[in-house]
Amino acid sequence: MTNRIEEITQKIYNEGIIKAKDDADQLIAEAKEKADAIIRSAKRTQEEIIREAQKQASEDKKRTEAELQLATRQFISHLKQQITQLITTAQINSPVNEAFNDSDFIKKIILALIEKWDPKAGKSIDLHLLLPSDDQKDLTAFLQKNATEAMNKGIEISTDPKLKSGFRIGPKDGSYLISFTAQDFANYFKQYVTDGTKKLLFDAVETA
């Protein structure tokens, strides 16, 4: 009887040990599976983060390169404009200033304008002439001698403190004024010289 009880007790003990071991193995397996799942998820997350970072870095690089290219093009374009402007100014300003410092040149222009201003004018002429203060006396004397008829018809002559050279001319009512200064002529000529200068300067370099 005692042996039987011992056998039963041993059997129960053994079965308990086996079950406990099985339960432990199962728990370990489940824990390992969960750990593996967490590791896989973390790895996927890490890979996604790396891919996103690489994508962002690539986009940033492309954007930076595009911005640098644009900035470079703008700088080159601005530099070309500055160089062209400097050369054009040197080409034009010197001869124009020289011409407008020549009193005979100014006198000829004024005389031609007066003669063509209103050839059908009767006893009076609707003309106002603005001169630099320094030149008024000399130019007025010239006109009194060489444009006597027009002067007798009542040309108005006054000074403009803003004028350093050249002159301005227009009707007496001041509805408009035509400006003949060195700067006016220089700006006018620059419109036609700039493109040609730019082409001459840079086309040969770019095709070399």
Nearest CA to 166 out of 91, 108, 89 is that of 108
Cβ(84)–Cβ(194) under 8 Å?
yes
Residues in the chain: 208
Q: 168 has which bridge partners?
A: 130, 179
Question: Do residue 1 and residue 74 come from a single domain?
Answer: yes
- What is the DSSP annotation of 59-88? HHHHHHHHHHHHHHHHHHHHHHHHHHHHHH
The number of angstroms, rounded, from the C-alpha of 49 to the middle of its chain's C-alpha atoms is: 39
pLDDT for the residue numbered 137: 92
pLDDT for the residue numbered 129: 92
The SS3 assignment for 169 reads: strand
State the pTM of this model: 0.50
Question: Do residue 112 and residue 58 come from a single domain?
Answer: no
DSSP helix, strand, coil percent of the chain (3-state; round to 5) = 75, 5, 15
In a domain, residue 198? The reply is no
In a domain, residue 197? The reply is no
Question: Do residue 89 and residue 135 come from a single domain?
Answer: no
pLDDT for the residue numbered 81: 67
pLDDT for the residue numbered 208: 41
Question: Do residue 88 and residue 123 come from a single domain?
Answer: no
Question: Do residue 159 and residue 72 come from a single domain?
Answer: no
Task: Count helices and strands (H / E) in the chain.
Answer: 5, 4
Sequential pLDDT tens for the chain (208 residues): 566 666 666 666 566 666 666 666 777 777 788 877 787 877 887 888 888 888 888 888 888 888 878 877 776 666 666 656 665 666 667 777 787 788 888 898 888 888 888 655 566 788 899 999 988 999 999 999 998 888 888 889 999 988 888 899 888 888 888 888 888 877 777 776 666 666 655 564 444 4
Question: Do residue 72 and residue 136 come from a single domain?
Answer: no
Measuring CA to CA, how many Å separate 98 from each of 66, 88, 175? 48, 16, 31
Rounded CA separation 125/154 (Å): 6
Element (H, E) at 131: strand 128-131
Question: Do residue 121 and residue 85 come from a single domain?
Answer: no
- Owning domain of residue 20: 1-100
Helix axes 2-100, 182-207, angle to 10 degrees: 130
pLDDT for the residue numbered 125: 80
Task: State in Å, rounded, how far the first CA of the chain is from the last one.
Answer: 116
Rounded CA separation 67/73 (Å): 10
